A and B are shown apart, each in its own frame.
Chain A
């Protein structure tokens, strides 16, 4: 079950294609799965970037960011996950908006693809903006180009596109007088916050996919709770997408660092099981 069929790495982001036919049949854009690398492993929520009901596979872009994702990153083709739960979360609200801007950084470059595809199919003008530190850190470009009217790049070192971040490009677009009817952002919390601030002055409807710490993913435990517009919401069943202008970012960041100690200590007991001579 859940065999790893294809794997490649683009500087810390691992594209992993798993066999999960039931999930591939029913998943929609914006939804995620929870995977477990081993029986005693952590449950990791991951946005599904692509899927095919024909081949029965789902494609995930996994950013290595701790002990559990390290274990995923070290899997080899042919290995299997212990468990996959999904599809989880509310699918993205897709409609005929007009012009849609999608912003993705890190794993979000893969994450925005299904939403871009769905928006394009719904007849929208799709502008995808992706950011990375260097030009060689972009991935999934061909696929993204195929479903976007325009793909814009931002790099920290200025080696491709604009030197800067997504919000700089968003600001540029808005200043040039182009009307944006809907924005979606997927990436690290800091990037989501910055992008939401960029769209706020223009009151553009902004959806951000939050990445709070999550356990069961079905609304039972409450570990993923976030404050949105003063209300407590569960990222797993009410999200993962929320109105970026209403999210309490400070609380989210605090909650995300709740287990720093345990996450750090875990490395002391790590031993790579796939050690090869």
Chain B
């Protein structure tokens, strides 16, 4: 092992590419060396982070002394090799190879007389099932095949275009597959194997060869975990994420952290029209390990764009809930809270909140609610860090809930003296219809705010605002801080976002005491994700049927 490293570090040996000397280390292919030296060789199948399969043949180069042309992705560099990558003859051969690939790909748009006007025109309206040309293809803006057509200057396809006529595969949750667009590069199979899942492989033979699962089962009934890394590496529009495929270019890409569980994966949120439209890995992802589960990769758009989201603050007035502005609602709540003794107030915090929001709630509880702050974890009540028990519930007259779905109209009955409920949440729960609710505050979700979140291993990860909240929703810490400010106790020291972060740094034990969200959680803020994401519901149901359990 040591020897191997030494040899690699040595890198004394070199090959000659296009008259330029390029050093290499043992085991590297000609393509690896060329890429590192800034020499472009077109490929459709080879990726730097996947093993080479040599299936597309576009990376052919001339090596002096070797017969014919070799694929640079599959030929190891050897000392003193003289490589040419771009002669007229090579370009001609590449064009021919590409023509052959395109003859089995619905590519009429590439050679159509009115291509340019059509591309401008059709963007907003066509969302077809079967893709019969580029101007209907959801992948056209990032299609590697099209980029290569441009690069090689291909203007005509001399072969008749064949349509394989495979049926569309649209019965799986989240994913649409159209293998009529597939050019059999095998990247999806490679990455699936690399991640240790191996849900797909080449099936059938000859012209009917396609990518599929064993016995051509649905992916949801097989081993697929819907991490969608196959979609990320597909050079064509064959594999697409159904909910995100028609957005064309996002207006904004924001790198943030998924806080649906304790892992806290880094992911890039695409936004358009101020909405979350998709989530994907960072562009230079390391495909050696699986970064995402189906929750972070596929569920966020539907979960956060749900039409059910709470949008405007509401207060009870003459027995009826009415919408109002945020300031009135805050003063209304402060007015009610000031009428109760701190012993009679309790606060339900949520594990799904940001560190800032959780800290503000704890601070609020310390000053105004006799530290009566608790969490609801799988129906159990947890008091972090303080010696309290459900005994205190018998005196509680006012509840401040940030995860209202943890209680039902029945389970709330255990607060026998309860008079008022303040709800601060993103979605409506059954509790909203309770006559004890005196105010409802709509809050932002984690893609709509800045902040930090402590994840497994004590790592604090950043959250960056990627989309706009609906209506007048604002972040949890801001609502709590503003109520605290109106109540005007000098002991309540929260001023602004940065003061909270300073407090957290000085008192890390508060955040450390918050229970973590396990990775197999099916909830967000106490609500089942499946209630808002229909395909996730299908996913869970089918997994439970076929495997008896759901893991992420």
Contact = CB atoms under 8 A, between A and B. Distances in A.
A260 interface: yes
A65 B161 contact: no
A271 B247 contact: no
A64 B129 contact: yes
A40 B31 CA distance: 55
A188 B111 CA distance: 20
A10 to B, nearest CB: 10
Interface string B217-232: 0100100000000000
B243 A70 contact: no
Interface residues of B, number: 46
Given A11-B132, A66-B127, A270 B534 contact: yes
Contact of A64 (B128, B160, B306): B128
A11 B242 CA distance: 19
A137 B125 CA distance: 20
A91 interface: no
Interface stretch (B71-79, B116-124, B255-263): B116-124
Given A260-B125, A268-B243, A270-B535, 14 more contacts: A63-B128, A65-B127, A164-B113, A257-B124, A257-B125, A260-B124, A264-B127, A267-B243, A267-B246, A269-B302, A270-B243, A271-B538, A275-B171, A277-B218
Contact of B157 (A157, A189, A194): A157
A165 interface: yes
Nearest to A168: B113
A269 to B, nearest CB: 6
Contacts of A66: 125, 127
A137 B132 CA distance: 9
A256 B125 CA distance: 8
22 contacts: A11-B132, A64-B129, A70-B129, A74-B170, A133-B106, A133-B133, A134-B108, A134-B132, A137-B132, A156-B108, A157-B157, A159-B161, A190-B117, A194-B114, A253-B121, A257-B125, A263-B127, A264-B246, A264-B277, A267-B246, A269-B302, A276-B171
Contacts of B125: 65-66, 256-257, 260
A264 B247 contact: yes
A73 interface: yes
Interface in A144-173: 155-157, 159, 163-165
A178 interface: no
A26 interface: no
Interface string B92-136: 000000000000001011011110011001101111111011000
Nearest to B124: A257
Contact of A73 (B129, B173, B302): B129
B163 interface: yes
B240 to A, nearest CB: 10
Nearest to B172: A275
B111 A156 contact: yes
Nearest to B111: A157
Instruction: Please name the 7 residue pairs, one residue from A and one from B, whose CB atoms are nearest each other, closest first.
Output: A271-B534, A257-B124, A268-B243, A156-B108, A133-B108, A64-B129, A156-B112
Contacts of A52: none
Contact of A268 (B109, B124, B129, B302): B302
A136 interface: yes
Main secondary structure of the interface of B (DSSP, over half): loop
Contacts of B117: 190
B538 A275 contact: yes
Nearest to B170: A272
B264 interface: no
Nearest to A10: B130
Contacts of B109: 133, 156
B534 A269 contact: yes
A99 interface: no
B111 A268 contact: no
Contacts of A264: 127, 246-247, 277
Contacts of A261: 273
Most buried by A among B161, B171, B537: B161
Contacts of A9: 130
A257 B124 CA distance: 6
Nearest to A66: B127
Contacts of A271: 173, 534-535, 537-538
B210 interface: no
Contacts of A65: 125-128
A159 B538 contact: no
B358 to A, nearest CB: 29
Nearest to A194: B114
Contacts of B442: none
A268 B273 contact: no
A272 B542 CA distance: 14
B275 interface: yes
A80 interface: no
A191 B261 CA distance: 51
A276 B302 CA distance: 23
B305 interface: yes
B424 to A, nearest CB: 25
B243 to A, nearest CB: 4
Interface string B147-186: 0000000000100110100000011010000000000000
B245 interface: yes
A159 B535 CA distance: 40
B122 A12 contact: no
A275 B301 CA distance: 22
